[in-house]
Amino acid sequence: MELVLFDLDNTLLAGDSDFEWAQFLISRGVLDRELYEARNATFYAQYKAGTLDIHEFLAFQLAPLARHRRAELDAWHAEFMATQIRPRLSDGARALVNGHLETGALCAIVTATNSFITGPIARELDIGHLIATIPAQENGEFTGKPRGTPAFREGKIERVERWLEELGLYLGSFRRTTFYSDSLNDLPLLCRVTHPVAVDPDPTLEAHAIKHGWPVMHLHTAGEPERDDD
């Protein structure tokens, strides 16, 4: 059996769903533009630079969920999917996922973005397993706090290993383990699988991939998308 893990933002998705969700709420007038837009951009820049404090970011990103009823949030998310997410899911990304699903591989999205935002995206791609940062809930409503270990940097390894344990498996159970990602933040998990693949990588990841002979593929920038079948 093969295990295939996909990062989401800027990997399968041409953009960052965390960033775009905040921008969407700003555009709807749910969040104050003056207060939120600059901070949203700052956190995104920190993420790309590899300097993000995940707990500081989650305090910012999850707080709006606690201010609104779940039904209202779900309605906004349906609009968000239609206008901001589906147009960012390329044919190449869908073909990559479908190719692995058709082989019978165990597939999962592994993302730091919270599961409220990413759950519908995983379902859109027919990926049945999602390992994401979990926003805590009470009686079906969000508290504005995270629960458990965020799926970020080394936390992705912890969360993947815990998920596999629940299935009675571990990374060594598979003849081949693949992880697709664009980000230097995912180097810890990329270094744990047998087949790391850099997808439209940031400069740090691209340099690391070239140095270590990892495949580099393109889904959203110049170049032909293709699967790594080594």
In a domain, 147, yes or no: yes
List 178's β-bridge partners, or say none: 4, 195
Residue pair 145/61 in contact (Cβ under 8 Å)? The answer is no
Burial degree of 167 (CB within 10 A; 0-12, 13-18, 19+): exposed
In a domain, 227, yes or no: no
In a domain, 145, yes or no: yes
23: amino acid identity, one letter: Q
Place of tokens 């990892």: 214
Cα 170 from Cα 163, distance rounded (Å): 9
Per-residue model confidence (pLDDT) at position 20: 96
In a domain, 52, yes or no: yes
In a domain, 223, yes or no: no
Which domain range does residue 72 map to?
2-217
In a domain, 61, yes or no: yes
Q: What string of pLDDT tens digits covers the 230 residues of the chain?
A: 899 999 999 999 999 999 999 999 999 999 999 889 999 999 999 999 999 999 999 999 999 999 999 999 999 999 999 999 999 999 999 999 999 999 999 999 999 999 999 999 999 999 999 999 999 999 999 999 999 999 999 999 999 999 999 999 999 999 999 999 999 999 999 999 999 999 999 999 999 999 999 999 999 864 433 444 44
In a domain, 43, yes or no: yes
Cα 112 from Cα 17, distance rounded (Å): 10
Q: What is the pTM of this model?
A: 0.93
The tally of domains found in the chain comes to 1
52: which 2 tokens?
């993000």
What CATH number is attached to the domain comprising 161?
3.40.50.1000
In a domain, 106, yes or no: yes
Could you give the C-alpha distances from 224 to 49, 159, 221, 227, in angstroms and in order?
27, 32, 9, 10
Can you tell me whether residue 156 is helix, strand or coil? helix
Would you please indicate which residues are annotated as catalytic (active-site) residues? 7, 9
Per-residue model confidence (pLDDT) at position 35: 85
